[in-house]
């Protein structure tokens, strides 16, 4: 896993612009702490920061293919292609020769053999650029589910690109600017595919190729969810899902560096950990290493709410004991969550204050601790989107609401256990201008217009196909981006087996009645993995990623809001509702201020540290 960046300019000689490219590349150092590389040509400049995972000595980048002293193709590549060994064998039979054992070189030769169609052959998580000096064309390619990020910014004579916005913003011609639409995108839980929040910048959509030439920029889709008749019966469906999971996990255990799993004790992470333990045992290696996050006193003083009914600790320990993993709890306290340095690191990693507050900080600290013992981690992320695990999948009111179901369910408030909203402290005139509800509605209608249907999709089945599509193309992007940024901020590669496109495509087309055949959430996943799980874990009710319940955390946020009130130079102050701010900071005020406070404090730090201009 790595950080990539680059610059295409058809009107300038980029061989003289090394300092600019070096500055852009340096912003990706967190994503690639092991090595740095620069490649310059007249109209193309590539930068690369490497996190060495496969072929530690031979996989250096940017990487080129040359023939008879002529450069045929160059790439700066981030990710893992899990079927690279099969592709390499096929390409070898077709006459290609390889000088390294890396998947990067396989990608280069696959393009030389099959052209743009090669992307359809890749299984993995990836975001990369290919420059063909023969045609002077650039291709930007992103994996099907959008596991790895990739952004681009068209210029008058080419394009700038990078794994994260910060790489593009390091170019002297780009200024960080956010307009009203960008601010609405930031505040709402919509995650519009292709939208980068910053004005003039775009995100390469999952499953898409962006082609850049002298004539401009064109976008092509190479993969999308399709509606197909599901002809397998229940037993065959469960068996096929297990077969896919066994193959997926085995492939994603390939690494030349220490590897582990992230274990919460929920069905998703427990299934991945158990299958990984099983695969490693079959290989004669192991035990699997696992990590869980916890908070000081969280299990002992846990209070159930309408989102989390049980603490993770006992379930994570039960699974760890069941598979005999080398397990470690990473225990965090409120001081660590409120530490200004940690929160600044999270904001720098995210580029935007659009996260989950203490949930983002704790994830960053978890990954930082994991990185001390492992370089690669397998995660249970995305199983809820694939198999229908969130509570609002099973809430008729949220399902039939005429908006995104997670918004109907009040996610931002429920995540922190309260009733407040993210926009609670913002000025009413600003909110009127942003028209967040109207913005959400437009994005919702756009998403619905994309949904593929079968003629047989009627009633609840039709609606649940829509709900699944919304989650697999919108909601999952929020969580994948969060996990990528937090992990790569500390040089940890996190793999997400449940995002394998074969599994996603298969389960997407299974009827909703089959996905809930036992009357519960994630019925198919539970049935497919029950044999490797203890009953305590297999039967556990879904519980989201934990959030601290320490009242001192809320009070610390309130104190920061009070300090902000007294800071006349605080850049966020013109955006705030003074009355709402006074109410939130008053002695004895209600405790459900966290979503609004975390957004406002994050926005203030973001505006101050990045110099972002708001064009409202």
Position of tokens 């990954």? 367
Position of tokens 């690639």? 32
Nearest to 548 by CA among 419, 421, 418: 418
φ/ψ of residue 615, rounded to 5: -105, 90
Nearest to 71 by CA among 112, 126, 129, 22: 112
Nearest to 389 by CA among 537, 266, 216: 266
Provide the strand spans (E) within 180-288: 202-203, 208-213, 216-221, 259-262
- Return the exposure string of 348-385: e unless at least 16 CB atoms fall within 10 Å of the residue's CB, then b: bbbbbbbbbbbbbbbbbbbbbbbbeebbbbbbbbbbbb
- In the sheet where 124-132 sits, what is the strand order? 63-67, 70-81, 124-132, 137-142, 208-213, 216-221
Beta bridge partners of 44: 8
Nearest to 266 by CA among 315, 214, 200: 315
Q: For residue 354, what are its two tokens?
A: 């659009």
Regarding beta strands 208-213 and 216-221, do their DSSP bridges make them parallel or antiparallel, or are they unpaired? antiparallel
DSSP state of 276: H
For 321, the 3-state DSSP assignment is helix
CA dist 103 and 58 (Å) reads 10
- Return the exposure string of 528-559: e unless at least 16 CB atoms fall within 10 Å of the residue's CB, then b: bbbebbbeebbebebbbbbbbbbeebbebbbe
Furthest CA-CA distance within the chain? 77
Is 260 part of the annotated catalytic residue set? no
CA dist 550 and 449 (Å) reads 43
Q: For residue 182, what are its two tokens?
A: 């960008």
Q: Which residues contact 25 (CB under 8 A, 6 or more apart)?
A: 3, 5, 36, 38, 47, 48, 49, 167
Q: Which residues contact 270 (CB under 8 A, 6 or more apart)?
A: 263, 264, 315, 316, 319, 380, 533, 537, 538
One-character DSSP codes across 229-244: -----HHHHHHHHHHH
φ/ψ of residue 499, rounded to 5: -95, 5
Contact 281, 511 (CB under 8 A): no
One-character DSSP codes across 475-506: IHHHHHHHHHHHHHTTT-EEE-GGG-HHHHHH
Residue 327 vs residues 271, 287, 352: alpha-carbon distances, Å = 15, 10, 33
Active site residues: 2
């Amino acid at each position: 896993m790595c950080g990539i960046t680059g610059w295409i300019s058809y009107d300038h000689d980029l061989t003289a612009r090394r300092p600019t490219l070096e500055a852009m590349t340096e912003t990706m150092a967190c994503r690639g702490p092991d090595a740095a590389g620069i490649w310059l040509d007249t109209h193309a400049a590539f930068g690369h920061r490497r996190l060495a995972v496969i072929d530690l000595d031979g996989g250096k980048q940017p990487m080129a293919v040359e023939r008879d002293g002529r450069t045929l193709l160059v790439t700066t590549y981030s990710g893992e292609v899990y079927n690279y060994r099969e592709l390499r064998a096929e390409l070898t039979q077709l006459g290609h020769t390889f000088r390294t054992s890396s998947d990067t070189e396989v990608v280069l030769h696959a393009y030389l053999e099959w052209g743009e169609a090669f992307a359809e052959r890749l299984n993995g998580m990836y975001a990369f650029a290919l420059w063909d000096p023969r045609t002077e064309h650039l291709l930007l390619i992103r994996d099907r589910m959008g596991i790895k990020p990739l952004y681009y910014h068209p210029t008058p004579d080419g394009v700038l690109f990078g794994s994260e916005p910060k790489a593009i913003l390091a170019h002297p011609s780009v200024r960080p600017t956010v307009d009203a639409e960008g601010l609405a995108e930031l505040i709402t839980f919509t995650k519009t595919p292709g939208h980068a929040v910053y004005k003039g910048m775009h995100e390469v959509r999952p499953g898409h190729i962006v082609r850049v030439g002298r004539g401009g920029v064109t976008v092509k889709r190479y993969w999308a969810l399709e509606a197909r008749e599901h002809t397998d019966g229940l037993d065959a469906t469960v068996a096929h899902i297990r077969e896919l999971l066994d193959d997926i996990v085995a492939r994603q255990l390939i690494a030349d560096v220490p590897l582990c799993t992230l274990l919460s004790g929920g069905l998703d992470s427990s299934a991945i950990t158990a299958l990984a333990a099983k695969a490693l045992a079959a290989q004669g290696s192991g035990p699997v290493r696992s990590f869980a996050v916890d908070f000081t006193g969280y299990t002992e003083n846990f209070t159930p709410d309408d989102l989390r009914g049980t603490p993770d600790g006992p379930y994570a320990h039960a699974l760890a004991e069941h598979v005999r993993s080398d397990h470690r709890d990473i225990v965090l306290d409120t001081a660590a969550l409120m530490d200004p340095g940690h929160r600044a690191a999270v904001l720098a990693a995210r580029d935007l204050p659009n996260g989950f507050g203490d949930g983002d900080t704790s994830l960053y600290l978890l990954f930082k601790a994991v990185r001390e013992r492992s370089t690669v981690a397998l995660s249970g992320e995305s199983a809820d989107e694939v198999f229908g695990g969130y509570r609002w999948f099973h809430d008729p009111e949220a399902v039939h609401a005429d908006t995104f179901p997670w918004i109907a369910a009040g996610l931002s408030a429920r995540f922190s256990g309260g009733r407040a909203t993210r926009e609670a402290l913002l000025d009413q005139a600003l909110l009127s201008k942003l028209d967040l509800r109207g913005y959400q509605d437009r994005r919702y209608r756009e998403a619905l217009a994309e949904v593929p249907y079968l003629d047989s999709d009627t009633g609840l089945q039709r609606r649940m196909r829509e709900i699944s599509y919304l989650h697999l193309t919108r909601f999952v992007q929020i969580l994948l981006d969060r996990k990528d940024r937090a992990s790569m901020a500390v040089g940890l590669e996190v793999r997400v087996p449940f995002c394998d496109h074969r599994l996603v495509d298969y389960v997407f087309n299974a009827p909703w009645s089959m996905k809930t055949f036992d009357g519960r959430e994630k019925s198919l996943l539970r049935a497919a993995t029950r044999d490797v799980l203890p009953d305590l874990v297999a039967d556990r009710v879904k519980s989201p990623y934990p959030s601290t319940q320490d009242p001192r955390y809320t009070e610390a946020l309130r104190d920061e809001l009070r300090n902000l009130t007294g800071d006349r130079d605080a850049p966020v102050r013109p955006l705030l509702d003074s009355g709402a701010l006074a109410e939130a900071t008053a002695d004895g005020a209600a405790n459900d201020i966290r979503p609004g406070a975390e957004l406002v404090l994050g926005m203030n730090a973001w505006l101050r540290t990045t110099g972002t201009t708001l064009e409202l």
